Amino acid sequence: IINSVVLLILLSALTDPDQYHLTSAELGGEFEFMDDANMCIATAISLLMILICAMATYGAYKQHAAWIIPFFCYQIFDFALNTLVAISVLVYPSTIQDYLHQLPTNFPYKEEIMSVNPTCLVVIILLFISIILAFKGYLISCVWNCYRYINSRNNSDVLVYITTNDTAV
């Protein structure tokens, strides 16, 4: 659902670029926020994500384990990238302050965030990333358990016990 909403926003931005165009003065730098090439790449990635999610849903519904694997690989890749973000925040905590200084002046709560103690801000961000990583790990285990369940159901080596009132086979 989120990928569909992102796709709709991207497509509307491609059809009316003036509505989503930010000048370099608004961004506080000398770069453009989104040009047409980046919009097309983001649209393609969004379409690919919708396809991968649809494949996983179809695979779970029709009990085809192979259709779930691309979504599982995406989740592992996403988890690895978020882990690298957490490590970079831990190793280079000063980058958070640098990032805050690069934000536009009209960014909501920018001054309040910058006034927080830098060490406390790093701890808060690491706690937030840790919660996200734990949730992503839980979702990875859910998809893996779904894959294993479907794989074992389709496997003919599964033993089935049938019990009746007086005998067990």
Tens of each residue's pLDDT in the chain, 169 residues: 777 777 777 777 767 666 655 454 444 454 455 566 777 787 888 889 889 999 999 999 999 999 999 999 999 999 999 999 999 988 988 888 888 888 888 888 888 888 888 889 889 999 999 999 999 999 999 999 999 999 888 776 555 566 666 655 5
The CA distances from residue 114 to 27, 103, 118, 128, in Å, are 18, 11, 8, 17
Reported as a single tens digit per residue, the pLDDT across 87-133 is 998 898 888 888 888 888 888 888 888 888 888 988 999 999 999 99
What pTM was computed for the model? 0.71
Partnered with residue 168 across adjacent β-strands are 163
Q: What is the C-alpha separation between 5 and 39, in angstroms, rounded?
A: 14
Q: What is the DSSP string of 102-161?
A: HS-TTSTTHHHHHTS-HHHHHHHHHHHHHHHHHHHHHHHHHHHHHHHHHHHHH-TT----
Domain locations in the chain as residue ranges: 1-15+23-167
What b-and-e string marks burial along 113-122, b requiring 16 or more CB atoms within 10 Å of the CB?
Answer: eeeeeeeebb
Tell me which amino acid residue 2 is: I
